[in-house]
Structure formats: C-alpha cells, structure tokens
Chains A and B, each alone.
Chain A
Amino acid sequence: DAGVIQSPRHEVTEMGQEVTLRCKPISGHDYLFWYRQTMMRGLELLIYFNNNVPIDDSGMPEDRFSAKMPNASFSTLKIQPSEPRDSAVYFCASSYVRGLYTGELFFGEGSRLTVL
C-alpha cells in the first residue's frame, strides 16, 4: 500500500487567500484525522471522521476552517480566508478498527503551509 498521501507538500500563499489541503487515506481504513503541528502548540487534533462522517470537530479553531470527506478515499481541509497564524504543518492520518484494536495512526508526510 502507498500509505497516506497528502498534497500539496508545500504551499505558500498570501493572507486572505483560500487554501485547500488534500488527503487520500490508506484503503480500508475507517478513520481519518486532521492534525496541525506548530512549534508553539505541538500537535493538535482538528477533526476526525469515521466512515466519512465527522465525529469530533471540536479542535477546528474557527469558522474559517472546514473539512469534508465526500468518500472513503478522499478528504479536504479548507481554510478561507487564510491568515499568517495558520502557518503550520498539517497532517492527515488514517486508522482502522480491526485486528488488535490498538488504534495505531498512520500519518502522511504533511502539508507545510506558509501564509504571508
């Protein structure tokens, strides 16, 4: 399997622009997570989905952030309008509820966002 695939790997944009980050989870995984990593706040869970349904979005910082999962193989995280404080590395991860039931997360390589 190719693992969790994220795009773009790097994005530089100007304040006020819309940003869309994309994620393809591992085939067969039931759960998809979006995390944000910054030096100041570490790794924060933004939202997670189970079977394409958002379960917990309490970590989404503001209404400017939205996430969708239209099908089992694709998810987007959108920021509109973007602000400099949104600069961070955004990780997508997927997981499954089978087998040993350990809840291990499989992370993508991240999308590094810089908002000028």
Chain B
Amino acid sequence: GEDVEQSLFLSVREGDSSVINCTYTDSSSTYLYWYKQEPGAGLQLLTYIFSNMDMKQDQRLTVLLNKKDKHLSLRIADTQTGDSAIYFCAEKTGGTSYGKLTFGQGTILTVHP
C-alpha cells in the first residue's frame, strides 16, 4: 500500500540549514515531490525527483533520495523567515492510477529570527 510519513514540526534559526525528512512505503514510486503550503494558500510544487536519481539540487534546495531505505529529505540552505510554511512530501506510483499522489501529513517549519 501507499503511506508517506513525516515529522510534524521543525524549528530553526534564520540562516541555518533546515532538513525535512520523509519516509514512504511504496517501492514502485516513480516520482517523489516536495510541496510548500503558505498560510491561507494552496500547495505549490517546490521540486521533484525521479526515482532513478539520488540527488537533485535547485538553488537553496537539495533533495536526497535513498531508495533502499525509502527515505526522502529536503534540505533548505540559509533558511529565511519567508521559508516558514508547511512542507509536504508526496509520492506518485506507477500503474493505472496516473496522477494519484499520496501526501504525507506535512512538516510545519518555523524559522526564528
């Protein structure tokens, strides 16, 4: 089955790095995603990684994928107060259910000045 788990809270100081972790259960996942939700808004795609990749870097964001352990992480370098939001990990599995993403519970990131 499909299940995605994340820790619920993370608090960091401005300028530090943030690392948000996620585990998933479906080994047939084709894509894994990180979405960001700011207060009062919908989810917005931050970045994604294809399952045959180990790492992807995009400016301040680094995604690491460990397929053996089914572990995904998002590192935000030089975290700013504007990065305070809820971050969702999601997986898309293959097969006939195209487009069906399974989301984690979300990690609330709080950045202190």
Binding site for B on A (CB under 8 A): 4, 31, 33, 42-43, 45, 48, 50, 55-56, 91, 93, 95, 97, 102-105, 107-110
Contacts and interface: CB of A to CB of B under 8 A. Distances in A.
Query: Do most interface residues of chain A lie in helix, strand or loop, or is the interface mixed?
Result: strand
Given A91-B42, A105-B45, A42 B98 contact: no
Interface stretch (B14-22, B60-68, B77-85, B103-111): B103-111
B40 A103 contact: no
B25 interface: no
A50 B100 CA distance: 11
A18 to B, nearest CB: 24
15 contacts: A45-B101, A48-B99, A48-B100, A50-B98, A55-B97, A95-B99, A97-B99, A102-B31, A102-B48, A103-B31, A103-B98, A104-B33, A105-B43, A110-B41, A110-B42
Interface in B38-84: 40-45, 48
Contact of A104 (B48, B102, B105, B106): B48
B106 A43 contact: yes
A33 B42 contact: no
Most chain A CB atoms below 10 A, which of B31, B33, B40, B100: B100
A43 B100 CA distance: 13
A42 B103 contact: yes
